[in-house]
Every structure is written in C-alpha cells, then in structure tokens.
Amino acid sequence: MASNTDLPPGVDKEQVYGMLAMEMEYKVELFNRLAMACFNKCVDKRYKEPELTMGENSCIDRCVSKYFLVNGIIGQMLSAGQRPM
C-alpha cells in the first residue's frame, strides 16, 4: 500500500479515496447507461428465444463499440476545453 509520501503535495488519503469513489460511481453509471441503451436498441422485446440471436449479439457488439468511441471523443473534447457540439 502507498504511504502518504507517495501522494501529491496537498492531497491526503481521504481526498484520494473520495476521488476513487467518484470515479467508481461514474463507471457504474456509464455501464448502466450503456447496458440500457444497447439492450433497448438491439434486443427484440418479444423474447422468442431464450438466448440472444446472432443479429442481437452483433448489434450489441456494434452498439458497445460506438458507445465507448463516442464517450472517448466527448471526454477528449471536454479535457481540451472544447464544448461537444
């Protein structure tokens, strides 16, 4: 485990734990939004089969890829001080 000397000046353990907790909350929120968006877009609501079809699997794969791509682009724009559209 890191000692207090490994922390940047002016930052204590509680601040680091708070930042880590916020990051974890953000990642959980991102996952939940991703799951809902791709599920609603790709999965047939009639549930004809107990497993996902090949088409549903492909759609979910593309949806997740695009979601992370767009999320990364927006994150880069925000960190560069630009407004996304």
Say if 27 falls within a structural domain. Answer: yes
Distance CA 42, CA 8 (A): 45
Give the structural domain span for 72.
Answer: 16-42+52-80
Read off the CATH number of the domain in which 66 is found. Answer: 1.10.287.810
Residue 10 lies in a domain: no
- What mean pLDDT is predicted for residues 9-16? 82
Report the number of distinct structural domains present in the chain.
1
Q: With a threshold of 0.75, does the pTM exceed it?
A: no
- Does 73 fall in a domain? yes
Per-residue model confidence as pLDDT tens digits over 30-81:
899 999 999 999 998 888 888 999 999 999 999 999 988 998 898 888 888 8
Check if the beta carbon of residue 60 is closer than 8 Å to that of residue 54.
Answer: no
